[in-house]
Amino acid sequence: MSRVTRIVSPHAAPLRQAMTEAETRLWHQLRDRRLIGHKFRRQHSIGPYIADFACIAARLVIELDGSQHASEADADARRTAYLAGQGWTVIRFWNARVLTDLDNVLREIIANLPPHQ
């Protein structure tokens, strides 16, 4: 039997404990394979970064951005480029959109997922 060793960042656990309202609402829709059967992880370490949400099987990262990200566009672009270079697709949503337009956010996420087998 093979075992997969997962490296967990010591920074991920506190982030899971202090999720924003938008992260909490989206996580409620993603957890327990609720979104068309795909498994998501929250605050998942990928290289030097911690993704807000990741579907490993689909190599999909979902990032939620608050107002502080308006001034961090360069850092976000570097992060996205790194993840893309590792074979991940990154989609970003503003927190406000998750809070006001969750149905369409979920549709956009589904559009980036392969059909579940």
- Residue 6 pLDDT: 45
Tens digit of each residue's pLDDT (9 = 90 or more) over 90-108: 999 999 999 999 999 999 9
Residues near 21 by beta carbon (within 8 Å), at least 6 away in sequence? 95, 99
Instruction: Supply the pTM of this predicted model.
Output: 0.82
Q: What is the mean pLDDT of residues 49-57?
A: 97
Tens-place pLDDT, residues 3-50: 434 444 455 445 545 799 999 999 999 999 999 999 999 999 999 999
> For position 3, what pLDDT does the model report?
44
Kind plus residue range of the DSSP H or E element containing 50: strand 49-55
Strand partners, 92: 63
Residue 117: band (very low, low, confident or very high) from pLDDT cuts 50, 70, 90: low
Q: What is the pLDDT of residue 10?
A: 53
